[in-house]
Amino acid sequence: MASRAAGADAAGDLRLLRRYEPVLRFTEGELFLPMPVEDYLRTCGLWRTGARRGRGRGGSAERLCAPGEVTPARLAEIGAAGGDLSLRFTERALARSELRAWRRAPGRPRLAAGVSRFAAVGLLSRFIDAVMRLSLLLRRRVPGGTTAAAERDYRAHADPDGCPYYGRVIRDRGFIALQYWFFYAMNDWRSTFAGVNDHEADWEQVTLFLPDPPEPSSRPSWVTFSAHDETGDDLRRRSDDPDLQWRDTHPVVFVGAGSHSGACLPGDYLVTVEPPALGRLFAALRRVSGLFLPWTRANSGTSFGLPFIDYHRGDGPGVGPGEARRWCPVLIDDQTPWVRDYRGLWGLDTGDPFGGERAPAGPRYERDGSLRLSWSDPVGWAALDKEAPSPLAERQAVEGRIAEVDAELAAVTAELDDRSGELRRARAGIRALSGTGAPRDPAALAALETTLRHVRERRQALAEEREALARAVVHGLPREDPHAHLRRRALPNVDPVRTRTRVLRIWSAISAAFLLTGLGLAILGQFGALLPAVGGLAVVMLCAEAFARGHLVQFVAGLLVVAVVAVAAGLATWAALGHWRSAIAVLLILAAAALLSASIRDFFTKR
């Protein structure tokens, strides 16, 4: 990979970064905006722990620098010596009384009334989420009151007029990658916005891809944002994607509240995390639920798993061209000492075995000290190896493919001649044996014919491709749909109207606790009645869920279908055992009841 060395045409790199720098739009209630690394370090202590897994809470740890002693140069110096290092932004979380006062403070940003994340997902998701929330009591996590303490420290250093980004320019494989790294003092997604995790420090990025050399009057070819579960093709959007919003050459990014991930469109995004060990179980449950719980079909991808809402509303503060706050760019590269030499964590190392509550490493490294793929190979990270960076490169790819196809056509044509000759010779042998009565092998002849057919089909496919490539030399390649490369198109998927009904909001809030209580009582009962009790609890819970969502009639109808099928299966077994007359009589009575029910329903249905 060809990366621009430190000091080489830094002014030119800075001009490129300024021309395309993104616009960040935050959600109302966001507590942390991008801040300077120097201001953050000034408040931090630097610690060495005994193992990479971390013993930042209650284990053996050595403080190397007290707050006020850490600078970028000192961080690089200590980081170069190695060891398991971590910073600590908040030396002391706020006590309960201080936290209550902070929450009541006038003027503190707050999220506008939103939807209930539990109302947007199914009952099983709420149950699983409750279990995972309880696991936080056993896991190592960021202590309560940390967000409030971090917000106080951040506000003491925040610039009301500007925010920094750390810009990097990479030239590789015909692309110019412009990376914009943003540093936040805290990811408060869990504590402030009911998300998945909290952790001190947060590094996020936007990467834009231009052809090398760039076209001065055009927008970037591709745009990528930091995202939760997107990889490869799903990371990037083409410049003409209708989901993207632009201000001249500046892409608009809607930043997740607390999580600081990026999105193209404003809105609320329901995302579920499915533990890998339970993936197959969830898939089976999703198929079953689609049969009897019809409201899960429209959003089957979010019916099970750990639910959370990522708020990308864009109704809060903004940074960048056209916004109240301006960007203050800082150039970094592989030779920037604090980027290169410090591999430790940028905040509290809780030692959370799931990793979600541990602070991240810097822009160059993963938590384990290995290089980030987005830093070492941004083109490969965004799956752009297969995309031509410019029209010239695209034409060269077409011409190169024509040469390859011509060579393959010549080889296939020669093979076709050879196979045809082999088939003729085999046919001659069979004919020669026809008058002798000797055994023949028609299967071998059929196999040769099949092989010849496959070679002929391959030659035809190559000839068609060659013809299409010849047209592309003259007219260019056909323009693909801007979403053709996406496996999953991320869109706002929370229906505020559907999830704000009072009954559903109340039920979604208490259902998981109700289910856990019911299971506990069922287990305390007699062992022989355990299965009937659990079955009855399941029916009651599902009926309540259907009623809260306004689908009770459909659900009951589904239950009746299941009951009829079960009765029919039982009667068939009964008939097979010799009671066929009674079985037929019961079936006729059931059919009569179903017909009468349908007739009464049709009679009262308004036309």
Mean pLDDT, each 10-residue run in order, the chain (607 residues): 54 95 96 96 90 46 93 96 92 88 85 61 59 58 86 91 96 96 94 86 96 87 85 92 96 95 91 58 55 45 62 95 96 96 94 79 94 95 94 94 97 94 88 75 86 95 96 93 92 66 63 68 67 70 66 67 72 68 73 68 53
What pLDDT does 18 receive?
96
What pLDDT does 157 receive?
87
Question: Phi/psi of residue 172, each to 5°?
Answer: -160, 130
Instruction: Find out whether 434 and 466 touch, Cβ atoms under 8 Å.
Output: no
What H or E segment, with its residue span, contains residue 245?
strand 245-247
Residue 182 pairs with which residues in a beta bridge?
204
Q: Which are the contacts of 308, defined by CB distance < 8 A and separation ≥ 6? A: 117, 189, 194, 195, 196, 270, 271, 272, 273
Distances in Å between the Cα of 341 and the Cα atoms of 36, 80, 123, 164, 365 are: 18, 5, 48, 21, 10
What pLDDT does 116 receive?
58
Q: Which are the contacts of 209, defined by CB distance < 8 A and separation ≥ 6? A: 175, 176, 177, 178, 220, 221, 222, 223, 224, 236, 378, 379, 382, 384, 389
- Sign of the dihedral defined by the CA atoms of residues 405, 407, 412, 417, in that order: positive
What pLDDT does 297 receive?
45
DSSP 3-state of 197: coil
Alpha-carbon gap, residue 244 to 264, rounded angstroms: 5
What pLDDT does 91 receive?
87
Instruction: Find out whether 206 and 22 touch, Cβ atoms under 8 Å.
Output: yes
Helices 552-576 and 580-604: crossing angle in degrees, nearest 10, is 160
What pLDDT does 379 receive?
96
Instruction: Find out whether 317 and 324 touch, Cβ atoms under 8 Å.
Output: yes
What pLDDT does 235 receive?
92
CA angle 360, 362, 367 (to 5 degrees): 45
Q: What is the pTM of this model?
A: 0.78
Residue 559: closest CA among 359, 354, 381, 293? 293
